[in-house]
Amino acid sequence: MPENETKITLDTVVGQSEDVYSAGVGNDIVWMRLASGAYYDSDEIGAEIWKLMATPISVRALCDRLMEIYDVLPERCHEDVMKFLRQALEEGMIRIV
C-alpha cells in the first residue's frame, strides 16, 4: 500500500462527503460530486450503503446492518464493502470521520 493511501478497517468511521448530492432512481442511486462535476451510479446495495452513511458509521456496523438486510456471508460482505469504500474514498464521495 502506498504511504499516502488511507487504510480502511472495520473500525474506521465513514460518512458521506459534504459536497456530494445523491438521488434515488428506483432501487439504485446516482451521486454527483460538485468539486469535480463527476457523477456515479450504484445498484441497490450501494444505495443502501450510501443511506447508512448519512450519519457517520463504523465499517463494522455498516457490514452488520447489511448482513441483517441481505443474505451474505461476513467475509464476502466485508470484502465487497471495503472495495466499495476504497473506491468511494478515492473518488472523494466519502470521508473518514
**β-sheet bridge partners, residue 38:** 33
Alpha-carbon span 59 to 36, nearest angstrom:
26
> Measuring CA to CA, which residue among 79, 27, 31 is closest to residue 53?
31
Residue 24 has pLDDT above 80, yes or no: no
Report pLDDT digits (tens) over 61-80.
999 999 999 999 999 999 99
Q: What is the mean pLDDT of residues 8-34?
A: 84
Domains with residue ranges and CATH for the chain? 13-96 (3.90.930.60)
The pLDDT of residue 22 is 77
pTM: 0.82
pLDDT greater than 80 at residue 5: no
Give the 3-state secondary structure of 17-53.
CCCEEEEEECCEEEEEECCCCEEEEECHHHHHHHHHC
pLDDT digits (tens, 9 = 90+) for 28-44: 777 777 777 777 878 88
